[in-house]
Chain A
Amino acid sequence: MQQLIVILLVAIAAAFSVWKLMPARRRLQAMLALDAWLAHRDFLQGWRTRVLARRIQSAAGPGCAGCAANTVPPHQRPR
């Protein structure tokens, strides 16, 4: 039983790592493919319009909008 949980967790960790470390362009392609696939289905539409659409928009712009360390540079911080 423990083995099963462990395999599951490792698989999730692997998938997550691959996702995070993928080049941004591939990630965007993957998201667009997912979006296109969902367009013809009738589940997860709410998630698609809210979450996926936003993710695609921010990923489509260049720069580190998707990076966890994205912060405002000093010369643009509120004064």
Chain B
Amino acid sequence: MKTPDSAATSARLPAATLAELPDGREGVVAGLTQVAGLDGDQASALITRLRDLGFVAGAQCKVVARMWPGGDPIAVRVGGSTFALRRAEALAVQLGAS
């Protein structure tokens, strides 16, 4: 579902990336991005692996647990399986409108 106004769109999103998705909220994966702070090779390998695990555009995901402090790591449910991800890994997953 698209709206012409991007500000309104972002206002409806629960979060920009998986790292900020509040516990228990459903999010929809929009895509994967290179994470700042990782070198190029690592960032690409991360994207490939995340995609293989099921973080593809249109997939529904939900954060089921979050470690304290700082949300690192978090436990995410996607495609019927649950994974523990570092914050740096979760930052690579962009969320979009459902």
A and B touch in the complex (CB under 8 A): no
By a beta-carbon cutoff of 8 Å, the part of chain A in contact with chain B is none
By a beta-carbon cutoff of 8 Å, the part of chain B in contact with chain A is none
